[in-house]
Structure 1
Amino acid sequence: MSATTVPSVTTVPPATTAFPPPSPKTVIPAPQHHPRGGDDAWTELVEAVRESGQYTTRSEAERVTRIVLSALGGHVIGDERVDLARALPEEAARVIAGQIPVTRRLTAAEFVESVAARIEGATPATARWDVSSVLSVLPRLIGDDLVTRVLAQLPAGYALLFGRADLSPAS
């Protein structure tokens, strides 16, 4: 066999030492899609937030979910950000991944205040409710190990927003 030349691409036949092709009985798994992908997973997330926050409408829960996840997306970086996006429904992953990383980490109180500034008519108390309503449902979706890794990146005080006891020593 000879090499076949295509404009700027050369195809070379496989070397004789390459692995043999799979036998007809070999099952090749289909490409993995987002583990919690699709509209159904997003709907389930929004419904979990709606129930957690006792919101009267799905649209209100969806609006709060988008705002809180977008705020969180700027604060989670590196492998944790990638793993968080992979663990969430596709729509939530887009919200997280679409954020530019912040240059200064906010304390938990400042984070809540930043969310309050994004929600018309919100107070720090209602924003804290909104943030907790969203973040407290995430451990069920992403797992405790990833929550622990995310919290390790954030300043003290965020654990309570995720529905965990904040056991970090006072500074």
Structure 2
Amino acid sequence: MDRTLETFLAQVAKRAGYDSPQQAARAVQNVLEVLGAHLVGDDRTDLARLLPKQCGPLLTATEPASEPLAPAPFVEAVAERSCDDVAEARRAVGAVLPTLAEVTDDALLRRILTQLPPGHAGLFGRTEPA
């Protein structure tokens, strides 16, 4: 698996329909920071190791959230972080999380989804685990 930042950003940009790698980088930063606040322990660090080295700290340096967020509030948190509207945040989440799922093995993705409230699998482009 190619784990270069350029490749990762290109995948996000293509999925979101962004015109530039800078837009993709901004989306990646905002989504990973919100996601990182909602993951704990080895799952967070295991996921960070699978990402381009520049992306890992975005997950691991974030302070843990005080409460879990359902999918809609998760998207709203990305909107607040990025100062974008909810539609643009949904676009970012819909590009970053499925790209993340592609670099993550199924076992780790299942563990991540068990840390998040029900409904997040769809944000990753997956069906809810049974």
Same fold by TM-score, threshold 0.5 exceeded? yes
1:90 is matched with: 53
TM-score w.r.t. structure 2 length?
0.92
Gaps of 5+ in 2: none
Number of the residue aligned with 2:97: 135
Q: Within 2, Cα distance between the matches of 1:166 and 1:123?
A: 27
AA in 2 matched with 1:60: Q
Aligned position for 2:63: 100
- Give a deviation string over 1:64-104, Cα, whole Å, max 9, x none: 11110111111010111121111111111011111111121
The Cα shift of 1:128 comes to: 1.3
Structure 1 length-normalised TM: 0.71
State the shift of 1:167 in Å.
Answer: 5.5
State the identity %.
Answer: 36
Larger Rg: 1
Count how many residue pairs are aligned between Structure 1 and Structure 2.
Answer: 130
Q: Distance in 2 between matches of 1:130 and 1:85?
A: 19
RMSD of aligned alpha carbons: 1.7
Equivalent pair of 1:36/1:87 in contact (CA under 8 Å): no
Letter paired with 1:57: S
How far apart, in 2, do the equivalents of 1:50 and 1:36 lie?
A: 16
Q: Which residue of 1 aligns with 2:114?
A: 152
Higher relative contact order (CA 8 A, sep 6+): 2
